[in-house]
Amino acid sequence: MALVYAILYLYFQAYPIIFQGVYNLSPGLCGLAFLPVMAGATSAMGIFLWYGSYYERAVIAGRSWTQIEEFRRLPLACISGPLVKPIFHNGYDLEVLEDGKWYRASLDDRLPSTHFAKSGYQPASEEIEHIIVSVKATQTVDALRSLKERLSSRSTILFLQNGYGMIEAVNNELFPDPSNRPAYISGVISHIVGKDGPFDTTHHGLSAVSLGLVPVQPVNKGSLSINTSHSANSAAAGTPLPIHNYLLDNLPRVPRFNATSNPYNLHLLHLLEKLTVNAFCNPLCALADAPNAYLFTIPETRRALLTEISNVINALPERDLYFAGAELAEFRRRFTVSQLEKTVSAIIEKTQSGTCSMVWDLRAGRGTEIQFING
């Protein structure tokens, strides 16, 4: 019973933390949350009195289950079982952006007609520990701008997008001070996913996801097992520390995601290969307003463009910054023209019936990601 009471009182201590801190209720409304405890205790008393009588009759009748100690409380567990699920959170928290501020919506709010500020809601202000950005590269800065005050050096941002250069844009626009800068994880997703409508997508083909923690400063090159810490203090001291990051540790545990946490230089290989495919496929299909199969009809253009891409990638400063020895040789092999042709052809073969996102952007009159794909 001492343990039961200890847990009960811990629940009471959690009430103001949850209802005031998370749901922004006033102290008065938070106090009302204790009333269901009284109602529950009253109803439970009636159930226990009934069960005591039921149990005594079962003992007198010589029921076998009354002779087994573990079974004596089992009927009560069967009664309470269906009541347990509602006390757990079901679904996801939802925050709505209104006039540049985020408000936490409840299940009772009628969206999008609710006006949170006029209704007395307080903007969400708690610090965000982990956030995944999956918007178009051109929308990255705007998507994070309204969350800037809730992000700090203790936060982690995963950029799960096509393109390259979004992190530099975020640093320049939002986090110019390295001491207040969140940790960044770069993600490369190769799954084939189609958007059928708002909040409606189809997973057409299983592939993989590569995740890499972006170092805060140049690291010693020549090892694919480099560990780098995003801590500003450790970075200043130049001492790499082992990585224990919630997203890096847990996303690979999702079977359908098929993600792998890689050292940054190994991840960079996957990133540049994906960038090559996008830099080749997207603009050509967009200019021709054609599906991916069109790319098989222009072999000379394909080789010329991949030759230019190979030259550009091999001239990147990141190559000599993160690779040396055998790893540098592997980098050069992957980004030869012949190898890039094999890589691109394999992707086009799988997606030839599809249409690049840049084509849809042009058809809809939207801005494209050309700046973050081709530079």
Answer whether residue 316 shows pLDDT above 70: yes
Max avg pLDDT among 22-26, 77-81, 129-133:
129-133
Q: What is the pLDDT of residue 108?
A: 63
Q: Roughly how many angstroms between the first and final C-alpha of the chain, as a whole number?
A: 67
**Mean predicted confidence (pLDDT) in 22-38:** 81
Using the structure block, give the residue that is written with the tokens 């209704």.
Answer: 119
| 3-class SS of residue 67 | helix
137-178 residue pLDDT tens: 999 999 999 999 999 999 999 999 999 999 999 999 999 999
Q: What is the pLDDT of residue 235?
A: 34
How much is the mean pLDDT over the chain?
A: 83
Answer whether residue 97 shows pLDDT above 80: yes
More confident position, 357 or 109: 357
More confident position, 353 or 268: 268
**Mean predicted confidence (pLDDT) in 329-341:** 95
User: Taking the CB of residue 320, how many other CB atoms lie within 10 A of it?
Assistant: 13
Answer whether residue 234 shows pLDDT above 80: no
Tokens for 192, please give them: 């084939």
**Mean predicted confidence (pLDDT) in 231-251:** 55
**Mean predicted confidence (pLDDT) in 73-94:** 64
pLDDT bracket for residue 225 (50, 70, 90): very low
110-136 residue pLDDT tens: 666 667 777 778 888 889 999 999 999
Residue-wise burial string across 46-81, b where 16 or more C-beta atoms lie within 10 A, e elsewhere: eeeeeeeeebeeeeeeeeeebeeeeeeeeeeeeeee
Tokens for 339, please give them: 């190898």
pLDDT bracket for residue 81 (50, 70, 90): low
More confident position, 225 or 198: 198
Q: What is the pLDDT of residue 216?
A: 79
Measured in degrees and rounded to the nearest 5, phi and psi for residue 158 equal -100, 120
167-223 residue pLDDT tens: 999 999 999 999 899 999 999 998 878 777 777 888 877 889 999 999 876 554 444
Q: What is the pLDDT of residue 285?
A: 95
Best CA proximity match to 179, nearest among 187, 171, 191? 171
**Mean predicted confidence (pLDDT) in 244-256:** 86
